[in-house]
Amino acid sequence: MNRIDSLFAQKKEKILTIYFTAGFPRLQDTRRILLALQQAGADMVEIGIPFSDPLADGPVIQQSSKQALDNGMSLRLLFEQLHDIRREVHLPLILFGYLNVVLQFGLERFFEKCTETGIDGLILPDLPLDEFRQDLEPLCKSTGIHFSFLITPETSDARIRQLDEASSGFLYVVSSSSTTGKKKDLSSLQPYFQRIEAMQLKNPFLVGFGIHDHESFLQACRHSRGAVIGSAYIRVLQQAADIEQATKDFVQQILSDNPVHAAS
């Protein structure tokens, strides 16, 4: 069974998904960060494939991608780093990236590598629905790897249904129309999340973009099964002297009302 499905079957609320950019802050940190996140209590991880021109991302993730590329990160190297990750990491893993990098790697080869590695899901924000149906859906079906589309407050109900139909695993609900990393007050967005909840979609959904602390995490989870945090964690990694400790503190602070101010 796909690990994403197992997760959603087991955990009904407050699923915490954390994004980080592969190759950041240092080239060889990938495994270490994955282990730290698992240890700290994250439920799922999105691994960002760095790209030179990340259109949907704000400055924080842009900067981390640039640094990762300067460090020498590539998709080929990422698969090398992950080749035996399943011995240690049991969380569902999602690759998040821009289409061009995947196209140049070769679609078939990409899916082969994902299967070998034990990748559970994909998010490619600039892949259109028609091209997904034509080129990726058959590969997703044959490998059992899930694909999540994004929806935004601008997405019409009819289109939400289409994107839900095409998605598997979960649907990614972008909190408001913006690039990543803008801290937001999510209280005004509750009617939007409520509307989607009321649509009774095929897939469960997670809320992402702009979630940065305990308060916004709870807001995001009120009508959804959980939330995705990206830029806020990248900011932590930027300054972390000790990745394990910083990750532990961060996850605790997101999950708990009384953040433990552990001495570092």
Partner 1 sequence: MSIEYRVGGIAPSVLRLARPGQYQVNEKGYYGEFGGAFIPEMLYRNVAELREKYLDIMNSADFQEEFGRLLRDYVGRPSPLYFARRLSEKYQTRIYLKREDLNHTGAHKINNTIGQILLAKRLGKKRIIAETGAGQHGVATATVCALMGMECVVYMGEVDMQRQAPNVARMRMLGAKVVPAMSGSRTLKDATNEAIRDWVNHPEDTHYIIGSVVGPHPYPDMVARFQSVISAEIKQQLQAETGSELPTHVVACVGGGSNAAGSFYHFLDHVSVQLIGVEAAGKGLTSGYTAATIALGRPGVIHGSKTLLMQTEDGQIIEPHSISAGLDYPGVGPIHAYLHATGRAIYLSATDQEALDAAFELTRLEGIIPALESAHALAKLKDLQLKPEHVVVVCLSGRGDKDMETYLRFLPADDNPTTTEPYS
The CB-of-252 to partner 1 minimum distance in angstroms stands at 31
Residue whose CB is less far from partner 1, 108 or 130: 130
Residue whose CB is less far from partner 1, 23 or 36: 23
Residue whose CB is less far from partner 1, 17 or 148: 148
Residue whose CB is less far from partner 1, 13 or 154: 154
Site for partner 1 in 142-181 (CB under 8 A): 149-152, 154-156, 159, 163, 174, 177-179
Interface residue with partner 1 among 16, 102, 114, 227 (CB under 8 A) is 102
CB 13 within 8 A of CB 226: yes
Does the active-site annotation cover 57? yes
State yes or no: residue 75 binds partner 1 (CB under 8 A): yes
- d(CA 128, CA 75) in angstroms, rounded, equals 21
Q: Give ∠ CA 2-167-178 in degrees, rounded to 5.
A: 115
Identify the active-site residue in 46, 120, 164, 249.
Answer: 46
State yes or no: residue 58 binds partner 1 (CB under 8 A): yes
The CB-of-118 to partner 1 minimum distance in angstroms stands at 22
Does the active-site annotation cover 46? yes
State yes or no: residue 94 binds partner 1 (CB under 8 A): no
Residue whose CB is less far from partner 1, 45 or 127: 127
Identify the active-site residue in 57, 120, 164, 249.
Answer: 57
In angstroms, how far apart are the furthest CA atoms of the chain?
A: 52
State yes or no: residue 127 binds partner 1 (CB under 8 A): yes
Q: Tokens in use for 30?
A: 């990938």
State yes or no: residue 134 binds partner 1 (CB under 8 A): no
The residues annotated as belonging to the active site are: 46, 57
Residues at the contact surface with partner 1, assessed by CB under 8 A? 51-53, 55-56, 58, 62, 66, 69, 74-76, 98-105, 125-128, 130-131, 149-152, 154-156, 159, 163, 174, 177-179, 182
